[in-house]
Amino acid sequence: MLNACHRFPGFVYEGARLNETTQTIEVEVRPRRGSRPCCSGCSKPAPGYDQLPERGFEFIPIWGFAVLLLYSMRRVQCRACGVKVEQVPWGIGKHTLSRAYMLYLAHWARKLSWQETARSFHTSWEKVHQAVEYVVQWGLEHRRLGPIRAIGVDELQYGRGHHYLTLVYQIEVGCVRLLWVGKERTLESFETFFTFIGRELAEKIEFVCSDMWKPYLQLIARHCTHALNILDRFHVVAKMNLALDDVRAAEARRMAQDGYEPVLKRSRWCLLKRPENLTDQQRITLRELLRYNLASVRAYLLKERFQDFWGYDSPTWAGKFLEQWCTQVMRSRIEPMKKFARTIRAHRELLLNYFRARKEFSSGVIEGLNNKAKVTMRKAYGFRTFRATEIALYHVLGKLPEPKLAHSFY
């Protein structure tokens, strides 16, 4: 069976036995007569020097039994590298796992949590981590970065407390993947991304989706000199909903203090949700609420009118609508909404870039990828270190190339 799916020139599977004490199938491997070992430093054939004690390499389990490849490594006298341990095609350095087993574990670690993968194959979490780390490291070394036409940048909370990751995605049609993971949400962290891809690739980027955080906008303008910076629609709507919720909460407190009927009680989601997403009970509550002349109701109507902005195709007409809407809000005497309108006016051109890009790029793809990243971390109940988090995200979202084997075991 091994000769059919895991055969290597220069080596022979001599025999196999079942060790009932350890419930392990032990397969003895020896070098073929006349074959010369290869140096692990330069990968070139070299004369033998001596032989090391027998060593085991874990292979893919079969029928519930662990499989161990037993081989006595040879040392070679290499002209270029000196005395080195030979290179074997099924192993990597001092790893106790065979290359095929690493790829096998990494494949299942993409579907299951690392702990579940370890339990399923009767191994340890640390060995699954080693397997995934090897596959990710190999993929990062062999992936092709450019050309990059469109990217999206966002932050994601991880761990306990206020710890954030900076994530950069490639969001083109036909190529949606995680490009880079940065520790913390800082100016220095995001600057590292542009250092990583280099000036040539950065200047060829045409579209960038981001939120309104100033360091993001400054670095994008500095490095992506030919790119349209498209503001994240999700964050724009989220900021407006936050302003509306502030209006509702303040007015509800004021009405309770003045002894009025609590008509705003349990009305939060009636005002924040889109009309088509309301439940039957929420529709009834909203209909009753709209009968009152309240600041919350006027803020809600302004919010609903703003949704028409995304329906325009022309940046010129979208700009005219935006100016009219902001003027109306500034006359409304609703302070949280006025603050939001001032923010929108300050970022007017970046908002209109959404239409200049012909609505080809938006934050929808970024939020979808962020959800996958959250599921990856939630599935593992979090990771203890940034390195483990980084490896897991690249493994699931990076679409990295993987080493090829003579036989597919999954």
Convert the pLDDT of each residue in 244-256 to its tens digit: 999 999 999 999 9
Q: Is the pLDDT of residue 6 over 80?
A: yes
- Mean residue pLDDT of the chain comes to 92
Element (H, E) at 218: helix 214-223
Q: Is the pLDDT of residue 364 over 90?
A: no
d(CA 65, CA 60): 9
Residue type, 113: S
Token pair 């702990």: residue: 115
Are residues 135 and 154 located together in one domain of the fold? no
pLDDT at residue 363, as a whole number: 81
Are residues 370 and 280 located together in one domain of the fold? no
Domain boundary among 140, 161, 176: 140
Residues forming beta bridges with residue 56, ordered by sequence position: 70
Are residues 43 and 121 located together in one domain of the fold? yes
Q: Is the pLDDT of residue 290 over 90?
A: yes
d(CA 294, CA 333): 12
Residue type, 182: G
Are residues 111 and 169 located together in one domain of the fold? no
Backbone dihedral region of 333: left (phi > 0), alpha (psi from -120 to 50 degrees) or beta? left
Residue 389 lies inside a defined structural domain of this protein: no
pLDDT at residue 4, as a whole number: 79
Domain boundary among 111, 140, 169: 140
Q: Which two tokens stand for residue 131?
A: 């397997």
Are residues 6 and 122 located together in one domain of the fold? yes
Instruction: Provide the percentage of residues in the chain whose pLDDT is more than 70.
Output: 100
d(CA 305, CA 301): 6
* Most confident by average pLDDT, 82-96, 147-161, 309-323: 309-323
Are residues 311 and 368 located together in one domain of the fold? no
Rounded to an integer, the average pLDDT of 319-340 is 96
- Residue with the bigger pLDDT between 201 and 159: it is 201
Are residues 27 and 136 located together in one domain of the fold? yes
Residue 405 lies inside a defined structural domain of this protein: no
State pLDDT tens for residues 224-247. 999 999 987 888 999 999 999 999
State pLDDT tens for residues 387-406. 999 999 999 999 999 988 87
Are residues 250 and 228 located together in one domain of the fold? no
d(CA 269, CA 245): 9
Q: Is the pLDDT of residue 93 over 90?
A: no
Task: Tell me the CATH number at 179.
Answer: 3.30.420.10
Burial of 245 (0-12, 13-18, 19+ CB in 10 A): middle
Q: Is the pLDDT of residue 299 over 90?
A: yes
Residue 15 pLDDT grade (very low, low, confident, very high; cuts 50, 70, 90): confident
Q: Is the pLDDT of residue 107 over 90?
A: yes
Q: Is the peptide bond before 147 cis (omega within 30 degrees of 0)?
A: yes
Residue 29 lies inside a defined structural domain of this protein: yes
d(CA 377, CA 385): 12
Residue 396 lies inside a defined structural domain of this protein: no
pLDDT at residue 233, as a whole number: 83
Are residues 66 and 158 located together in one domain of the fold? no
Q: Which of 408, 328, 353, 344 is nearest to 150 (CA)?
A: 353
State pLDDT tens for residues 176-197. 999 999 998 899 999 999 999 9
Residues 6+ apart with CB under 8 A from 242: none
Q: Is the pLDDT of residue 10 over 90?
A: no
Are residues 53 and 119 located together in one domain of the fold? yes
Instruction: Report how many domains make up the chain.
Output: 3
Residue 91 lies inside a defined structural domain of this protein: yes
Residues 6+ apart with CB under 8 A from 228: 206, 207, 208, 353, 356, 357
Residue 160 lies inside a defined structural domain of this protein: yes
Residue 76 pLDDT grade (very low, low, confident, very high; cuts 50, 70, 90): very high
Are residues 105 and 69 located together in one domain of the fold? yes
Residue 179 domain boundaries: 150-232+363-379
State pLDDT tens for residues 144-181. 987 899 999 999 988 777 889 999 999 998 899 999 99
Q: Which of 261, 253, 240 is nearest to 343 (CA)?
A: 240
pLDDT at residue 181, as a whole number: 96
Rounded to an integer, the average pLDDT of 350-369 is 90
Rounded to an integer, the average pLDDT of 35-45 is 90
- Rounded alpha-carbon distances, angstroms, from residue 372 to 159, 221, 270, 353, 379: 16, 29, 28, 27, 10
pLDDT at residue 7, as a whole number: 83
Rounded to an integer, the average pLDDT of 81-104 is 91
pLDDT at residue 200, as a whole number: 93
- Residue with the bigger pLDDT between 4 and 47: it is 47
Rounded to an integer, the average pLDDT of 114-139 is 94
Rounded to an integer, the average pLDDT of 37-55 is 91
Domain boundary among 91, 114, 140: 140
Residue 390 lies inside a defined structural domain of this protein: no
Residue 28 lies inside a defined structural domain of this protein: yes
pLDDT at residue 211, as a whole number: 87
- Rounded alpha-carbon distances, angstroms, from residue 300 to 235, 242, 246: 18, 12, 12
Are residues 13 and 133 located together in one domain of the fold? yes
